[in-house]
A = this chain, B = another copy of it.
Amino acid sequence: MTKIAITGASGFVGQTLAKKLIETSPDAQLILADVHQPPNPTKSSNVECIAADLTEASACQSLVSRSPDAVYILHGIMSSGSEADLELGLKVNFDSVRNLLDTIRVERPATKVIFTSSCAVFGRAAVKDVASEADIVPYPESSYGTQKLMIEFLINDYSRKGLIDGRVVRLPTIFVRAGAPTAAASSFVSGIVREPLHGQESELPVDPNIGIWLSSPRTLAHNLVHAMNVPADKFGHFRTVLLPGYSATSGEILDALEKVAGKEVRSLVKEKRDENIQRVVLSWPAKYDTSRARGLGFTEDVGLEQTIKDFMEADK
Query: Interface residues, chain A, CB within 8 Å of chain B?
Result: 86, 123-125, 133-141, 143, 146, 149-150, 153-154, 156-157, 160-161, 163, 237-238
The answer on a CB contact under 8 Å between B237 and A86 is no
Bound Cα distance A146, B160 (Å): 11
With a cutoff of 8 Å between Cβ atoms, the chain B residues found around residue A133 in the complex are: 137
Smallest distance from the beta carbon of A220 to chain B beta carbons, Å? 24
Kindly state the separation between the CA atoms of A197 and B139 in the bound complex, as whole angstroms: 44
Q: Give Cα A94 to B313, complex, Å.
A: 48
Nearest-neighbor residue (CB-CB) of A95 within chain B: B98
A141: chain B residues at CB < 8 Å are: 160, 237
Cβ of A140: which chain B residues have Cβ within 8 Å of it? 153, 156-157
Stoichiometry, copies per complex: 2
Can you sample 29 A-B contacts with CB below 8 Å? A86-B161, A86-B163, A123-B238, A124-B237, A125-B134, A125-B237, A125-B238, A133-B137, A134-B137, A135-B137, A136-B137, A137-B137, A137-B138, A139-B156, A139-B237, A139-B238, A140-B153, A140-B156, A141-B160, A143-B157, A143-B161, A146-B153, A146-B154, A146-B156, A146-B157, A149-B153, A150-B150, A150-B153, A150-B154
* Minimal beta-carbon separation of A7 from chain B (angstroms): 21
A140 to B160, CA, bound (A): 10
Q: A139-B237, A146-B156, A146-B157 are known contacts; what are 6 more A-B pairs with Cβ within 8 Å?
A: A123-B237, A123-B238, A125-B237, A136-B137, A137-B137, A146-B154
